[in-house]
Each structure stands twice: as structure tokens, then as C-alpha cells.
Amino acid sequence: MSRKQWIVLAAIVAVAGFIAWLALSSRQPPLLPVDDVHARFESAATCLSCHGPEGAVPQSSRHPLGDECLRCHGTR
């Protein structure tokens, strides 16, 4: 292989590695846990009873606004 071919191959490997890193490091919302509490999902109001500002496990301050929990947090 010539030097130019090695450089092109190295560039392709670097780009592929970068794309793989991006794909693996993307942050996905967590799925609903498989437990008794979350098995009874009824509505966003049910979620916010625990995950609202005054709940036992409040949402992060960085959590986007909205009350369609299952739109992002799916079930298993």
C-alpha cells in the first residue's frame, strides 16, 4: 500500500470511530423500571406525584418541560 492509501484508510477508520463513539455516547431517556410502582402507570399525573417538584424523587432541573412521560420513557 502506498502512503496515500494508508492516510485515506486511517482517515476512514478515524471517522468511523468517531461516528461509533457518537452513537454509543448519545444519552437516551431511561426506560420505566420494571417494578410494582411503575407497573401501574396510568397518566403523567401519576408520574408527577413522585417525580414532581415536591415528590420523593423529583425530576432534574435539566428535564425538559412536558407531561407526556411515555413519549420519551418507554416501557420494557
Tens digits of residue pLDDT in 11-30:
999 999 999 998 887 778 88
39 vs 59: CA distance, rounded Å = 19
Q: Are 41 and 47 in contact (CB under 8 A)?
A: yes
CB 57 within 8 A of CB 51: yes
pTM above 0.75, yes or no: no
List the one residue out of 52, 49, 48, 44 whose CA is nearest residue 69: 44
Grid coordinates of 23: 452513537
Question: Which helix H or strand E contains 47, and what residues bound it?
Answer: helix 44-51
Judged against a pLDDT cut of 80, whether residue 75 lies above it is answered with no
Question: Position 71: which residue type?
Answer: R
Per-residue pLDDT at 17 = 96
